[in-house]
A = this chain, B = another copy of it.
Amino acid sequence: MKALLLVAHGSRKASSNDAVEQLTAKLRDKLLASEFSEIEHAFLELATPSIPEGIARLVKKGVSQLVVMPYFLAPGTHVVDDVPAFIQAARQEYPEIVFTIVPHLGGVEGMADLILESADVH
């Protein structure tokens, strides 16, 4: 079973964290059209669930493959160092699960088109 973990930075503003939770709910509704059976979100810092908590939730559901998407626009320290460090620790804790980190959101194909489409609408 393949699952997606959306990892956001986390904020002191509840409304900002709520937006990530709402996006995850929206993604959950779309999962049937994808390869994923489950999705959870997690925060790098300042908010919960933490990354280990998000992973534990998916492990409980019986995932065998866990794809981590860093919900970050910039390839800064969080993307390059911090998220991979959490996943490395998770690999040791759950050796039976295959972890993959996909490129951070700012680096994906399609971002440029999404920006132009969104700006054109208005």
The chain A residues found within 8 Å of chain B, CB to CB, are 4, 6, 8-9, 11, 13, 15-16, 19-20, 23, 26-27, 30-31, 33-36, 67, 69, 71-77, 100, 102-103, 105-122
Nearest CB on B from A111, distance (A): 7
A114 proximity list for chain B (CB < 8 A): 105, 108, 110-111, 114
Q: How many chain copies? A: 2
Given contacts A4-B119, A15-B75, 17 further A-B contacts (CB under 8 A): A6-B115, A8-B73, A9-B74, A13-B74, A13-B77, A16-B76, A20-B74, A30-B116, A34-B116, A36-B120, A67-B122, A73-B105, A102-B119, A105-B115, A108-B114, A109-B118, A114-B114
In the bound assembly, the distance between CA atoms of A31 and B116 in angstroms comes to: 8
Enumerate the 5 nearest inter-chain pairs by beta-carbon distance, A residue then B residue, closest first.
A108-B118, A16-B74, A16-B76, A26-B112, A34-B116
A121 proximity list for chain B (CB < 8 A): 102
- Measured CB to CB, the nearest residue on chain B to A12 is B76
What would 28 A/B residue contacts be, using CB atoms closer than 8 Å? A11-B74, A13-B74, A13-B77, A16-B74, A19-B74, A19-B106, A19-B107, A20-B74, A23-B106, A23-B111, A23-B112, A30-B113, A34-B116, A36-B116, A36-B119, A67-B122, A69-B115, A69-B118, A71-B115, A72-B73, A73-B73, A100-B122, A102-B118, A103-B118, A105-B114, A105-B118, A108-B114, A111-B114
